[in-house]
Amino acid sequence: MNHYNLKLIALSMLLACFTVLFTFSLVGKLYKSASNETRGVVQAVIELAHVLELNVVAEGVKTEAQRKILTALGCGQMRGHLISRPLLEARLIKLLKNLSLLFE
């Protein structure tokens, strides 16, 4: 599932999904939003996804503040420039090999 910006989404559509993806536009609003509305919606969707045993991924995480908010709301998977900028294939392979050494 993608695009929280949709006005309406059937619960049956959510049940057919494996992953809930928060797009970079919503992630950016989390930190900038003066109201708790965005944060409340994100938290509710994350909690529902966990109950339904769906993966939750936040896309476009650029700042440590965004990462902290998403972690506090229960989102454990993130991608974006804070995690890593786009890499060339050779650099990615080297990074993955180094990571695998850390977890052996």
DSSP string, 70-92: HHHTT--EEESTTT-----HHHH
- Helix or strand holding residue 19 (H, E): strand 19-22
pLDDT tops 70 at residue 9: no
Please indicate, yes or no, whether the overall pTM of this predicted structure exceeds 0.75.
no
Q: What is the pLDDT of residue 6?
A: 45
Q: Does domain 11-102 have CATH number 3.20.20.450?
A: yes
The pLDDT tens digits of the residues spanning 71-83 come to: 999 998 898 889 8
What are the structural domain ranges in the chain?
A: 11-102
